[in-house]
A and B are shown apart, each in its own frame.
Chain A
């Protein structure tokens, strides 16, 4: 295995930092559009106004692609997230362009790191977090391509990505290094790619679920006569309808869960070759199992009377909490065979 190209690794780091900076400006733009955009007022007067229905329809189709007949876009004529040409609209467009630019720089950082280590660049926590963040941003951009109306929600997706990248670049950072023997396998590319795509998508689902809970709370407060909406609940005014967010979050899980299942199976196949058994309750494996079971609970909860809606939403968030725990705590605190954090 070749050594490390130091100048390339350095270039990768610079691109990474640049991407964070661009995302941050983009996020400020999205937040500005969200706050000053007109759409909020429409939604506030007619809870669950038209655009919501479309927002639900499109992600589902795109993410699941059940092999149904090719579907053309239904009647458009949906109001855009901000009035065309308004200041908020222009800020939103600007933020969108910045996010695309940031994603390109980010992708460049990952690619250059790959050249530097001469392998797929996701063998430690820093690299994994960087790739998962990129997947999250690309997923959102793809979603926005199909449904421009959700553009003003961009800040909600960029915020966790930026936080994660900041942690990755500071606390979790590790120098570019060649792969240890256990990681020298094509399963690294398959297993870790699947995990990062599935978990990146599940993060999006968690964001949608939080928005669902806020919106649902907003609706409940609004039902009471003479109620005033304030604080965090006030955000609900500009969000799509609760049912829409709930369905969108579900469709993302319906897409991610089989992917995550395949990822775990690939991990088991790899473990059989590398460690002598397909499953050994290594802490990482145990938490992969826990995450899988929790999302299985979520899918069942959505089909069980008394569990739909809020309870299922909390199950979804518990699942994402388990993912976060598996990524941060199990890597850093608990020692096991999956100790590739690169933080020593």
Chain B
């Protein structure tokens, strides 16, 4: 490359080097932790839109400022993404040279012994009666397979052993970081291809649904799912045959279960399943969860024109502890004649009569439930904006009256309108989730843990032995073994480790010696035993 081009690239190279430095990675990690904090302390729109709106309403300009900087959707904000993307790049830049270096280190033989082993952090020496070649064999056996050992001759009949262990420390470290990268990619892929739908299912026939977008009450697709790049699984929930909610005496929930019949494909046979809180129904790549429940009161309504309607309406719990629920019945009469009937109602599973005539609920258990209703006649105002099915727009209606009804009771209002409370059925809200990457993510997470164990548990050690025959070289005179050791990581307890190693090497010297002398005493029997 020409010099001007190189000069032009210099700032880029500097920036790259700075980005991939450990210090930058450390600061980015810190920023990631700090950036996550507001995500837990401020209401988050994706988790809780109502809370976010009420926070905005009560905090004026400060709230609007926070909203503008994405503080109500921290984990979807640009700056949060910027931090982890920079971290991602920094990690890639840091890992590539490390992988190359490590591959080279693994391929390389352990380094030759330094001239003076006594200068190493840990060292020692002892004598043995064995000749160098014999002791080298014994020492290799004593060290065992954990060490990678290379034997090298030196002038004068001296042998050196270079031993190294703990390569899996760096291997583990690299695996961990690669698994982190893989996890980030898998999470991103999962978000693109995932979808989530939810639907309220009332107990009883003809209330089921199939896994198609149009049949969900709410539908949250990932980008590619929204573009129709993946087809939702073809299953159908035909019917929730029975929903059970059990409570303790004090009104704490103890069990929720939904019995459903379903088909894996539109044309396959019906099957039965029980869905409980910790046990979703898994259908291929889709999971079906039980995430909520409530009551659907059933009414018989006589309309102003004398016709009779039977209707069931889903009521939404207003209080999680007592399940006091609210909902609406909307019955359209002949158009344009103010013949519509609208009913706003409160359902108390275990009622308590308040002094003001309003009902309260004291427990989520159903025990002689009461339905409090406000009945209106007029125009349901369906021509306007789309309405919530759970709330009544009574702006063009007049109230006929209000009454509390127990099951089986009825009441007649003016204009020939009467309402009887026939009973109730439970409903369950079901959530269908699809995330094609989560299985692979679990594999990546397992790799992270394995990598961590290697990275934090394995210690890198180098050891050298210099086995020198005695100066006189007379038969039987001692061989001198000098040992030196070096800790390349976690040197904390290396002194203890080295002492233990020295014990073993020394034992190997005497054991092998005993064996050899035995052999000399009884050569025949040993050969006879097939030792060699």
Contact = CB atoms under 8 A, between A and B. Distances in A.
Interface of A: 1, 3, 53, 56-58, 60-61, 64-69, 71-72, 74-75, 177-182, 184-185, 187, 247, 250-251, 254-255, 257-258, 261-262, 265, 268-270, 272-278, 280-283, 286-287, 289-290, 293-294, 296-297, 299-301, 303-304, 306-307, 322, 330, 334
A258 B452 contact: yes
Contacts of A58: 493, 496
A252 B219 CA distance: 46
Shortest beta-carbon contacts, A-B, top 4: A57-B493, A286-B40, A181-B277, A66-B457
Interface string B461-500: 0000000000000000000000000000010110111011
Nearest to A272: B438
Contact of B431 (A273, A276, A280): A276
Chain B contact-residue range equals 35 or more
Given A184-B255, A289-B36, 14 more contacts: A57-B496, A60-B492, A177-B250, A180-B252, A181-B254, A181-B256, A182-B277, A185-B278, A265-B442, A275-B291, A276-B291, A281-B40, A289-B33, A296-B29
Contact of B449 (A255, A258, A296, A306): A258
Contacts of B287: 272, 276
Contacts of B448: 261
Contact of B459 (A68, A72, A184, A334): A68
Nearest to B279: A273
Nearest to A285: B40
B421 to A, nearest CB: 29
Contact of B39 (A66, A278, A281): A281
Contact of A290 (B23, B37, B248, B495): B37
B192 interface: no
B123 interface: no
Nearest to B198: A276
Contacts of A255: 456
A289 B448 CA distance: 15
A273 B470 CA distance: 71
B453 interface: yes
Contacts of B25: 300
Contact of B496 (A74, A258, A275): A74
A273 B277 CA distance: 8
**Interface majority SS (helix, strand, loop, mixed), chain A:** helix
| Most chain B beta carbons < 10 A, residue from A250, A251, A275 | A275
A187 B278 CA distance: 10
A261 B449 contact: yes
A184 B497 CA distance: 46
Interface in B247-297: 248-250, 252-256, 276-280, 287, 289, 291
Given A178-B248, A281-B47, A300-B29, A251 B492 contact: yes
B337 interface: no
A31 to B, nearest CB: 28
A309 to B, nearest CB: 15
B456 A273 contact: no
A57 B495 contact: yes
A294 B504 CA distance: 41
Contacts of A75: 499
B144 interface: yes
A258 B457 CA distance: 10
B130 interface: no
B289 A57 contact: no
Contacts of A184: 255, 277-278
Nearest to B25: A300
B8 interface: no
B147 to A, nearest CB: 10
A276 B253 contact: no
Nearest to A70: B500
A69 B146 contact: yes
Contacts of B452: 257-258, 261
A95 to B, nearest CB: 27
A219 B496 CA distance: 26
A83 to B, nearest CB: 25
Nearest to A304: B22
B16 interface: no
B391 interface: no
B56 interface: no
A125 to B, nearest CB: 17
Contacts of A300: 22, 25-26, 29
Contacts of B29: 293, 296-297, 300
Nearest to A177: B252
Contact of B255 (A181, A278, A281): A181
B278 A273 contact: yes
Contacts of A68: 146, 459, 497
Contacts of A258: 449, 452-453, 456-457
Contacts of B425: none
Contacts of A286: 36-37, 39-40
A181 B278 contact: yes
27 contacts: A3-B248, A53-B495, A64-B457, A65-B457, A66-B459, A69-B144, A71-B497, A177-B250, A177-B252, A180-B253, A181-B278, A182-B277, A184-B277, A187-B278, A258-B453, A276-B196, A278-B438, A278-B441, A281-B47, A281-B74, A281-B75, A283-B41, A286-B37, A286-B39, A289-B33, A322-B33, A330-B40
